Every structure is written in structure tokens, then in C-alpha cells.
Amino acid sequence: MNKIEDQKKAALQAVSNSSSIEELEALKIQYIGKEGIFKLILRDLGGLPPEQKREVGATANSATQAVTNAIILQKGALEAEHLTKRLERERVDLSLPSATRPKGGVHPTMQVMDEMIAIFADMGFEVAEGPDIEDDFHNFTALNFPEKHPAREMHDTFFFHPNEGGVRKLLRTHTSPVQIRTMISGKPPFRLIVPGRVFRNNSDQTHTPMFHQIEGLVIDKTIHMGHLKWVFDTFIARFFETDKVITQFRPHHFPFTEPSAEMDVRYTRNGNELKIGDGDKWMEILGSGMVHPNVLTACGIDPNEYQGFAFGMGVDRLAMLKYGVPDLRDMFAADTRWLNHYGFSGFSAPNSVSGLS
């Protein structure tokens, strides 16, 4: 009995004097662990008389519980002390100047693409995406391009070397293949836009080999050119943030639409400032038209039941027009000074509530 009391006092004293969690864990193992002092005492009770066994067992259990409670209290005190020291050590003086944040901004192309997606989303369009590397069927054949069309030649399109079967993959020249894939895999009606990178073998002040497009597609049973014009007028008014929009259609030719038209908007320019709706000049904005029946047929859609319109516009060129960028090639020159001047804050995502630009 005296031995148990002595071990209890020694354990409580050691726990009280412990100064770290590690030291406390070692004491826990020493006294109340599976091979601890009090466990060994309880294990040896078998050789004692019944009356003495009950008394020694009760004393040992009481000592074990006392040491356990002391360890719990000491552990809480040590953790609180550790936290207090850490808070004192890691304290931040909010009155000091903040650290310099990394510089950066959203590229005008990505800003304008987000603006356009926000506008079309408000009109009920959903976003569709597809691969940059395409095959001849999705990029040309299904879009009603004739076999000898100039766009199929090397001087217009980036082709890969033929594979073992003689098939040549290519870098898509427009995002229209995504429309084809969507129509083949789904069922009408469709109302979608397709933003993405496209590739053409051309480079000058207003053209680059890689640029960005947004194309749109609407397929339903009662779609006509009036819907097409309303979508464009609404888009231009919201994109350039003006109520005064004057547009015109000019007849054109695209293999995948019939009839086809390019759309111009009236504008005036004063230096780098572009004003939509005023002046006597016309600027081409996009190409469009009613989807050709051959395209619908290639996608498994009955042209006698469904019809619709498609359109496409260059994102980079619209960024130039809206924000006064003089040379398209500068947008891909990787010049941080240029981006610091034309870039946008990453904290202001375009939306119809707080504004686009």
C-alpha cells in the first residue's frame, strides 16, 4: 500500500514538473501505460489474499485515475502556454506597410472573352469547348467545304504529317468543329457559343497565326434572320456599352451558311478613341448566316424540320477596337510593360450587374 502511495506522489510530482508535451507522454507511458508501474501492480494481484487483493486493487485504481487526471490537466496547461508563446512570436503589426504584391493582370483578350461570354450567357447561350487539333471531317467536310477549297491548302492551314493510315490532322482554323461535334452528339434545339484558339497561316498588323474566336450557333424549328439581327444588335450595344447602335448586313459567302452575310457597325474614330453609333464609317464586326442544310444533314439533323443561324467574330480584334490597341501582334509579344498598361485587375470579373469593362 505504501509503495502505491509513494509511486502516486512521485508520478504527480513528475507530471507537475513536466515542461513539454513529449515529456508528459513519456510519464504517461511510465506510470499508466500497458507496461506502466500501476498496470504491473494490478497484474500481480493474483498472488494476494482476497481481502488484501480488493484493498490493493482499489488503491492502485485510485492512483491510476489521479495520475491520469493530472496528466490531462498538465497537457491542457502546456498546450495553452505553447499557443500563447506562438501568438506572441507570430504577431503581425498591422500598422506596418504591407509587403509588395506580385504584379500582374488579366490579358485584354481574356478580359474581352469573359465580357462576351457574360453577355451571351444573359441571352441564354451556353459555352461549348473542343480540341485544338482536328480532323478534316469536323473542320471542313461537315461544314460543306468543297474538296478543292483554298482553305484546305497548306498556305492557309497548318497540317500535321499524315499518320500510318494517310490521315492528316490539322490545327483547327475556326471553332466551328465544336458546333459539329455538339450537333452530332446531342439533339436540337441548340443555343451555344464556342470560345477558343484558332490557327491560320497569316501574320500582319491585324492578323496573327494564332488568335481567338467566339462562334455561336442557334438551331430550332422557327429561327430566322430577324433573330440573328436582334442577337447582334443586343450584343454590340452591351459590349460597347451604348444604346445607339446602327448596323447593316452585307451579302457574303461562307460554305457553311446560306444565305451568308457580314455585319458592319457605324462608328467614328478620334485618335485612339472609337465611338460606336456615330459618324459615317462602317466597320466589319463579324460573319454570319443561316446554317446550310448540308451542314445539318451531315450532323444527322433534318433540315426540313430544323433551321438556325451561326456566327463568328475575332476576340482579339474586338479587344483592339474597344480598348485602343494599335497592333494585334503586340498582344502576343510577352512584354510585361504592355500588359501593365493594357491589363485588367483579376478581382473584377465581368458581369451584367457590376459592369463589363
Query: Is the pLDDT score of 154 beyond 60?
Result: no
For residue 116, what pLDDT is reported?
A: 92
Considering 44-53, 113-122, 139-148, 165-174, the range whose residues carry the highest mean pLDDT is: 113-122
Query: Is the pLDDT score of 168 beyond 60?
Result: yes
Which residue in this structure is represented by grid cell 485504481? 61
For residue 275, what pLDDT is reported?
A: 74
Query: Is the pLDDT score of 72 beyond 80?
Result: yes
Query: Is the pLDDT score of 350 beyond 80?
Result: no
Residue 270 — very low, low, confident or very high, per pLDDT cuts 50/70/90?
Answer: confident
Average pLDDT (102-120) is 86
Residue 206 — very low, low, confident or very high, per pLDDT cuts 50/70/90?
Answer: low
β-bridge pairing 126-127 and 190-199: parallel
For residue 219, what pLDDT is reported?
A: 96
For residue 217, what pLDDT is reported?
A: 95
> 249 or 166: whose pLDDT is higher?
249
For residue 44, what pLDDT is reported?
A: 66
For residue 67, what pLDDT is reported?
A: 82
For residue 357, what pLDDT is reported?
A: 60
276-328 per-position pLDDT tens digit: 777 788 888 889 999 999 999 999 999 999 999 999 998 888 888 788 777 77
State phi, psi for 5 to the nearest 5 degrees: -65, -40
Query: Is the pLDDT score of 107 beyond 80?
Result: yes
| CA 40 distance to own-chain centroid | 62
> 296 or 157: whose pLDDT is higher?
296
Average pLDDT (119-124) is 92
Average pLDDT (165-169) is 83
> 100 or 299: whose pLDDT is higher?
299
Average pLDDT (132-147) is 89
Query: Is the pLDDT score of 130 beyond 90?
Result: yes
Percent of the chain with pLDDT over 70: 87
User: Average model confidence (pLDDT) for the chain?
Assistant: 83
- Name which of 59, 36, 37 is nearest 48 in CA terms: 59
Question: What single letter denotes the amino acid at residue 95?
Answer: S
212-246 per-position pLDDT tens digit: 999 999 999 999 999 999 998 899 888 888 887 78
Residue 331 — very low, low, confident or very high, per pLDDT cuts 50/70/90?
Answer: confident
**Calpha distance 214→212 (Å, rounded):** 7
- Name which of 175, 245, 252 is nearest 210 in CA terms: 175
Query: Is the pLDDT score of 190 beyond 70?
Result: yes
Average pLDDT (151-168) is 78
Average pLDDT (24-36) is 80
Which residue in this structure is represented by grid cell 455585319? 263
- pTM assigned to the model: 0.65
